[in-house]
C-alpha cells in the first residue's frame, strides 16, 4: 500500500519565440499553450506505476486554469487532484514548498497519508531547483534528488539516477520520503479515451493558500539581446556535400 | 568572504568548479569547502585559483554522497567563517547541496547565476530561467546569499598570484537524519572519454534530429573520417541514446575545436554555452531559423540523414 502525491506546475509551452509581459515579471503566454515540464510528466508516470491500485494524487499551485494540467494527470491514471488556487507569479520556491506541505498536513489530518511525494527536479519556467528539497525540509522527511527510476517495496523507496561520473547511483530510503525526478527513465503514457472520461468525473479539490507568500525576489525578466546572423548557407540537402568537403579542406581538417 | 563548495573527480577540481572559483574571486575573498575524499593536490589547485583557505570535511559520514550530509559540511564551514555568500557550480550536486543549505538557513537560493551586480550588502543576480531563453534579475537580501553559478558562464582562469592556501580540517556534527539519503551503491557507467572530445580538432554533433539511438552510425562514421569526436545535446543523453560524457553544453563539456558540425541540434543557450568557442561552426539542420543555424558560420539546410552520409561519401570518393 503506497499512496503517492505528485506535484506539477502549469508553465507556458515556449518551444518557439519567447515574449515577456509588459511589466517584465512573467512570460507572455497569450499566444502559446500551457504544459508541464518533461521531468514532471515522468514523475506522473512513476507515481501511477508506484501507486498501482492505491491511488496517486496530483497537486498544483496555480491559477484556476491549472485544472487543465491536473486533468491531464488524471487522464493518465492519477485518481485524485488538488488545486491550491493562487497566482504563481507571486510565489517563490519556499512559498510553494510551504503550501504543498500544508496540503500534505491537511490530507494527513483527514486520514489520507501521502507516503511518497514526487516532484520534478526543476520547473520549466523558473528553474529554481529546490521546491522538492524545501518540501522535504518542511515535512522532516528524507529527499532523493534527480533520479530516473523509482520503486517501492516493504516501506522502502529505491531510486536510481546518474552520478557525476556517468555511473548509476542507487539510493534506498524509508518511507515517508520525497523524491525529485529527471526525465529519461520512463516513457510517459498517453491518455486513453476511457482515461479521459474517468478524469472528467473526478472532483478536483480546490483550496486557498494557507498564508501570504514572501515572493520570489524577482526584480524583472529580460530577454538576451538578439544576435545578428552572418551565416553563409552552403546549400540544401545532400547536393551541398561537395561544398562542405571543399570547406573542410580549406580549413585544413580533411586531407 | 565567499565560500565555494568545490567538486572534484579523479582529475582534480572539476572544470565547472574552477569556473565558479573564477566567478567568485571577482566578488570577494574566497574560501573553499571540500567534502569527503579529495584527490592529492586538490588544495594546491584551489590555491592556484585564489582560494585562501580550504575547509575539508572528513570522516565516515562523508564517505558516500548525500545532499543533506554535504550541506551539513558546507553549513559548518559557513558558520565557522561567517561567509556572507555561499556558492557552487550549477551541477546536480551543487544545486542540491545549496538547496539543502538554503532551506536550513531559511534564506532564498538562486540557481544558475550568470552575473551579479550591486555589492556584498545588496546583491542582485542575473540567472537563467525558462530553459535559458530568459534572464531573471533576482534580489538576494538575506545573508549568507546562496546561489549556484551556471556552467560555462565564465571561463576558468587561475588567479594572477596563487594564494598560500591553509587547509583546515572540518569534523561537523552529523545527525542520523543527515545520513538517511546517501548513495548506497554505484554501478560504473561507460568509461569517460570526454577528454578526447574536449581536445578534438573536429567535433561532429548530433541532437534530437538523429531520431533514435540507431541514428548515430552516420555521424560516427563522419567523425571517424575526420579524425574527430562525437558531441551530443542533452536531449540525446537524457533519452539514453548516447552516454553523458559525450554531452556538449552547460551541463556537459565545453569544446573549442577548429570545426564543429552540429547536426539536428537547435542551439539552445545551454548547448551554445559549451560550443561557442568553436572556431568555425557548420550547422546541418532542417530549420533555417534554428538558433544554431543563424549563429553558425556556415550551414546546410536539410535532413541530416541524407546530408551526413553524402558528406562521408564525398570524402571517401576524393580519397579514392
Ligand atoms: C539547466 C539546464 C541545463 C542544460 N544543459 C544542457 C547541456 O549541457 N547541453 C545541451 O545540449 N542542452 C542542455 N540543456 C537543454 C537545452 O535547453 C535544450 O533542450 C537541448 O539542447 C535541445 O537539444 P536538441 O537541440 O538536440 O533538441 P531540439 O531543441 O529538439 O532540436 C532539434 C533540432 O533538430 C532539427 N532537426 C530535426 N530533425 C532533423 C533532421 N532529420 N535533420 C536535421 N535537423 C533536424 C530541428 O530543426 C531542431 O533544430 C539544458 C537545459 C537546462 C534547463
Ligand atoms: N506551483 C507549483 N505547483 C506544484 N508543484 C510545483 C510548483 N512549482 C514547482 N513545483 C514542483 O517542484 C519542482 C521543482 O521546481 P523548482 O524548484 O521551482 O524548479 C517542479 O518540477 C514541480 O514538480
Which residue shows C-alpha cell 528553474?
A127
pLDDT beyond 80 at B5: yes
Which residue shows C-alpha cell 560555462?
B152
Number of domains in chain B: 2
Which residue shows C-alpha cell 500500500?
A1
B27 in the same domain as B168: yes
- Domain final residue, candidates B155, B179, B203: B179
Whole-angstrom distance, CA of residue A33 vs CA of residue A31: 7
Band (B193; pLDDT cuts 50, 70, 90): confident
* Residue in A8, A9, A73, A205 to alter for ligand 2 test, most ligand atoms within 8 A of Cβ: A9
B214 is a domain residue:
yes
B204 in the same domain as B55: no
B186 is a domain residue:
no
Which residues span the domain enclosing B304? 194-319
B96 in the same domain as B12: yes
Whole-number Å distance, alpha carbon A247 to ligand 1 midpoint, is 25
B29 in the same domain as B98: yes
- Per-residue model confidence (pLDDT) at position A254: 84
The arithmetic mean of pLDDT across residues B236-254, rounded, is 91
Between chains, do B298 and A128 touch, taking CB under 8 Å as contact? Answer: no
Residue numbers in B near A243 (CB within 8 A): 300
Chain mean pLDDT for chain B: 95
B206 in the same domain as B167: no
Cβ-Cβ contacts under 8 Å between A and B: the total is: 244
Alpha-carbon B91 to chain mean position = 6
Measured from the CB, is residue A87 less than 6 Å from ligand 2?
no
B311 in contact with A at a CB cutoff of 8 Å? yes
8 A C-beta contact, residue B54 and residue B43:
yes
Residue numbers in A near B106 (CB within 8 A): 94
B294 in contact with A at a CB cutoff of 8 Å? yes
The alpha carbon of residue A78 is apart from the nearest alpha carbon of chain B, in Å, by: 24
B189 is a domain residue:
no
The number of residues making up chain B comes to: 320
Which of A39, A124, A238 to mutate against chain B (most B CBs within 10 Å)? A238
Whole-number Å distance, alpha carbon A61 to ligand 2 midpoint, is 9
ipTM of the complex: 0.94
Give backbone dihedrals phi and psi of B295, rounded to 5 degrees, phi first.
-95, -5
The alpha carbon of residue A82 is apart from the nearest alpha carbon of chain B, in Å, by: 25
- Per-residue model confidence (pLDDT) at position B82: 97
Whole-number Å distance, alpha carbon A96 to ligand 2 midpoint, is 7
Question: Between residues 265 and 284 of chain B, which touch chain A (CB distance below 8 Å)?
Answer: 269, 280, 282-283
Band (B175; pLDDT cuts 50, 70, 90): very high
B202 in contact with A at a CB cutoff of 8 Å? yes
Q: What are the pLDDT digits (tens) for B6-48?
A: 999 989 999 999 999 999 999 999 999 999 999 999 999 999 9
B302 in contact with A at a CB cutoff of 8 Å? yes
Residue A83's nearest CA partner among A101, A105, A65, A110 is A65
Under DSSP, is residue B162 helix (H, G, I), strand (E, B) or coil?
A: coil
DSSP A93: H
Q: What is the dihedral of CA B182, A171, B187, B148, to 10 degrees?
A: -60
Q: How far apart are the first and last CA of chain A?
A: 65
B233 in the same domain as B113: no
Per-residue pLDDT of chain A (255 residues; tens, 9 = 90+): 789 999 999 999 987 778 999 999 999 988 889 999 999 999 999 999 999 878 899 999 999 999 999 999 999 999 999 999 999 999 999 999 999 999 999 999 999 999 999 999 999 999 999 999 999 999 999 999 999 999 999 999 999 999 988 889 999 999 999 999 999 899 999 998 998 998 999 999 999 999 999 999 999 999 988 778 999 999 999 999 999 999 999 999 987
B242 is a domain residue:
yes
The alpha carbon of residue A116 is apart from the nearest alpha carbon of chain B, in Å, by: 14
Contacts 24+ apart (CB under 8 A), B312-319: B312/B218, B312/B221, B312/B222, B312/B225, B313/A241, B314/A241, B314/A242, B314/A244, B314/A245, B315/A245, B315/A248, B315/A254, B315/B222, B315/B225, B315/B226, B316/B225, B318/A245, B319/A255
- Per-residue model confidence (pLDDT) at position A82: 98
B258 in contact with A at a CB cutoff of 8 Å? yes
B203 in the same domain as B161: no
- Per-residue model confidence (pLDDT) at position B190: 77
B152 in the same domain as B227: no
- Where on the phi/psi map is residue A246: left (φ > 0), alpha (ψ -120 to 50), or beta? alpha
Taking CA B100 as the corner, what is the angle to CA A99 and CA B251, rounded to the nearest 5 degrees?
A: 105
Whole-number Å distance, alpha carbon B235 to ligand 1 midpoint, is 6
Between chains, do A146 and B92 touch, taking CB under 8 Å as contact? Answer: yes
Whole-number Å distance, alpha carbon A79 to ligand 2 midpoint, is 20
Share above pLDDT 70 across residues of chain B, in percent, rounded to a whole number? 100
Q: Give Cβ neighbours of residue B119 (< 8 Å, ≥ 6 apart).
A: none
Angle between helices A131-139 and A93-109 (to 10 degrees): 40
Q: Whose CA is nearest to atom 49 of ligand 1?
A: B266
Q: What are the pLDDT digits (tens) for B265-308?
A: 999 988 998 999 999 999 999 999 999 999 999 999 999 999 99
Measured from the CB, is residue A130 less than 6 Å from ligand 2?
yes
Whole-angstrom distance, CA of residue A11 vs CA of residue A34: 5
B105 is a domain residue:
yes
Whole-number Å distance, alpha carbon A181 to ligand 2 midpoint, is 11
B301 in the same domain as B207: yes
Ligand 2 atom closest to Cα of A134?
17
B310 in the same domain as B175: no
- Domain final residue, candidates B179, B203, B236: B179
- The CATH number given to A4-207 is 3.40.50.620
Q: Which residues of B298-312 are buried (b: 16+ CB within 10 A; e: fewer)?
A: bbbbbbbbebbbbbb
Q: Grid coordinates representing B284?
A: 546541418
B116 in the same domain as B64: yes
Whole-angstrom distance, CA of residue B163 vs CA of residue B160: 9
Whole-angstrom distance, CA of residue A31 vs CA of residue A155: 46
Between chains, do B129 and A174 touch, taking CB under 8 Å as contact? Answer: no
Whole-angstrom distance, CA of residue B95 vs CA of residue A146: 11
pLDDT beyond 80 at B121: no
B211 in contact with A at a CB cutoff of 8 Å? no
Between chains, do B314 and A233 touch, taking CB under 8 Å as contact? Answer: no
- Per-residue model confidence (pLDDT) at position B251: 87
- Per-residue model confidence (pLDDT) at position B17: 97
What CATH number is attached to the domain comprising B82? 3.40.50.620
Give backbone dihedrals phi and psi of B142, rounded to 5 degrees, phi first.
-80, 160
- Name every protein residue with a CB atom under 6 angstroms from any ligand 1 atom: A 127; B 112, 131-132, 207-209, 233-235, 247-252, 264-266, 268, 270-271, 274, 284-287, 290, 303-305
B314 in the same domain as B199: yes
The alpha carbon of residue A190 is apart from the nearest alpha carbon of chain B, in Å, by: 18
Question: Between residues 96 and 155 of chain B, which touch chain A (CB distance below 8 Å)?
Answer: 96, 99-100, 102-104, 106, 108-112, 124, 126-131, 133-141, 148
Under DSSP, is residue B294 helix (H, G, I), strand (E, B) or coil?
A: helix
Band (B120; pLDDT cuts 50, 70, 90): low
Which residue shows C-alpha cell 538578439?
A226
Alpha-carbon Rg for chain B, nearest whole angstrom, is 21
- Per-residue model confidence (pLDDT) at position B180: 97
Instruction: Tell me which chain A residue has its CA closest to the CA of residue B106.
Output: A94
Which residues on adjacent β-strands are paired with residue B232? B206, B247
Q: Give Cβ neighbours of residue A187 (< 8 Å, ≥ 6 apart).
A: A45
What CATH number is attached to the domain comprising B231? 3.40.50.1220
Residue B155's nearest CA partner among B29, B273, B258 is B273
The alpha carbon of residue B169 is apart from the nearest alpha carbon of chain A, in Å, by: 25
The alpha carbon of residue B308 is apart from the nearest alpha carbon of chain A, in Å, by: 8
Amino acid at each position: 500500500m503506497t499512496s503517492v502525491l505528485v506535484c506539477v506546475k502549469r508553465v507556458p509551452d515556449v518551444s518557439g519565440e519567447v515574449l515577456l509581459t509588459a511589466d517584465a515579471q512573467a512570460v507572455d503566454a497569450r499566444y502559446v499553450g500551457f504544459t508541464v515540464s518533461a521531468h514532471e510528466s515522468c514523475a506522473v508516470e512513476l507515481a501511477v506505476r508506484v501507486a498501482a491500485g492505491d491511488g496517486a494524487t496530483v497537486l498544483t499551485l496555480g491559477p484556476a486554469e491549472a485544472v487543465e494540467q491536473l486533468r491531464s494527470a488524471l487522464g493518465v491514471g492519477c485518481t485524485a487532484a488538488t488545486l491550491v488556487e493562487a497566482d504563481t507569479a507571486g510565489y517563490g520556491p519556499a512559498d510553494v514548498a510551504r503550501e504543498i506541505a500544508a496540503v500534505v498536513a491537511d490530507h494527513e489530518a483527514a486520514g489520507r497519508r501521502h507516503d511518497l511525494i514526487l516532484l520534478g527536479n526543476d520547473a520549466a519556467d523558473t528553474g529554481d531547483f529546490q521546491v522538492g528539497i524545501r518540501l522535504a525540509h518542511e515535512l522532516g522527511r528524507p529527499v532523493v534528488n534527480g533520479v530516473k527510476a523509482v520503486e517501492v517495496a516493504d516501506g522502502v523507496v529505491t531510486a536510481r539516477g546518474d552520478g557525476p561520473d556517468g555511473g548509476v547511483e542507487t539510493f534506498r530510503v524509508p518511507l515517508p520520503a520525497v523524491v525529485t525526478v529527471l526525465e529519461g527513465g520512463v516513457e510517459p503514457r498517453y491518455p486513453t479515451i476511457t482515461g479521459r472520461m474517468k478524469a472528467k468525473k473526478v472532483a478536483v479539490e480546490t483550496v486557498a493558500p494557507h498564508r501570504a507568500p514572501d515572493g520570489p525576489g524577482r526584480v524583472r525578466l529580460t530577454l538576451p539581446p538578439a544576435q545578428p546572423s552572418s551565416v553563409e548557407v552552403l546549400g540544401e540537402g545532400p547536393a551541398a556535400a561537395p561544398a562542405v568537403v571543399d570547406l573542410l579542406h580549406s580549413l585544413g581538417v580533411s586531407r | 568572504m565567499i565560500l565555494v563548495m568545490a567538486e572534484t573527480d579523479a582529475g582534480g577540481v572539476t572544470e565547472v568548479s574552477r569556473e565558479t572559483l573564477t566567478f567568485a574571486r571577482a566578488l570577494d575573498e574566497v574560501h573553499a569547502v571540500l567534502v569527503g575524499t579529495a584527490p592529492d593536490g586538490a588544495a594546491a589547485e584551489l590555491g592556484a585559483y585564489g582560494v585562501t583557505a580550504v575547509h575539508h570535511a572528513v570522516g565516515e559520514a562523508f564517505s558516500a554522497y548525500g545532499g543533506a550530509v554535504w550541506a551539513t559540511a558546507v553549513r559548518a564551514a559557513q558558520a565557522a567563517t561567517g561567509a556572507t555568500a555561499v556558492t557552487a557550480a550549477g551541477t546536480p550536486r551543487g544545486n542540491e547541496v545549496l538547496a539543502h543549505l538554503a532551506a536550513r538557513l531559511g534564506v532564498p537560493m538562486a540557481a544558475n547565476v550568470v552575473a551579479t551586480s550591486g555589492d556584498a550588502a545588496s546583491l542582485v543576480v542575473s540567472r537563467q530561467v525558462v530553459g535559458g531563453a530568459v534572464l531573471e534579475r533576482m534580489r538576494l537580501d538575506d545573508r549568507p546569499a546562496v546561489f549556484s553559478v551556471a556552467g560555462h558562464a565564465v571561463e576558468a582562469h587561475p588567479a594572477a598570484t596563487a594564494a598560500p592556501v591553509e587547509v583546515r580540517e572540518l569534523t561537523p556534527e552529523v545527525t542520523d537524519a543527515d545520513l538517511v539519503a546517501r548513495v548506497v551503491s554505484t554501478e560504473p557507467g561507460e568509461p569517460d572519454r570526454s577528454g578526447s572530445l574536449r581536445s578534438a580538432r573536429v567535433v561532429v554533433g548530433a541532437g534530437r534530429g538523429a531520431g533514435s539511438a540507431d541514428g548515430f552510425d552516420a555521424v560516427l562514421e563522419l567523425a571517424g573520417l575526420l579524425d574527430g569526436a562525437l558531441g551530443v545535446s542533452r536531449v540525446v543523453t537524457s533519452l539514453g541514446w548516447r552516454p553523458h560524457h559525450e554531452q556538449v553544453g552547460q551541463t556537459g563539456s565545453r569544446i573549442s575545436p577548429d570545426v564543429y558540425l552540429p547536426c539536428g541540434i537547435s542551439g539552445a543557450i545551454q548547448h551554445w554555452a559549451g560550443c561557442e568557442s568553436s572556431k568555425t561552426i557548420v550547422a546541418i539542420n532542417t530549420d533555417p531559423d534554428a538558433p544554431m543555424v543563424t549563429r553558425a558560420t556556415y550551414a546546410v539546410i536539410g535532413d541530416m540523414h541524407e546530408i551526413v552520409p553524402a558528406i562521408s561519401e564525398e570524402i571517401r570518393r576524393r580519397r579514392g
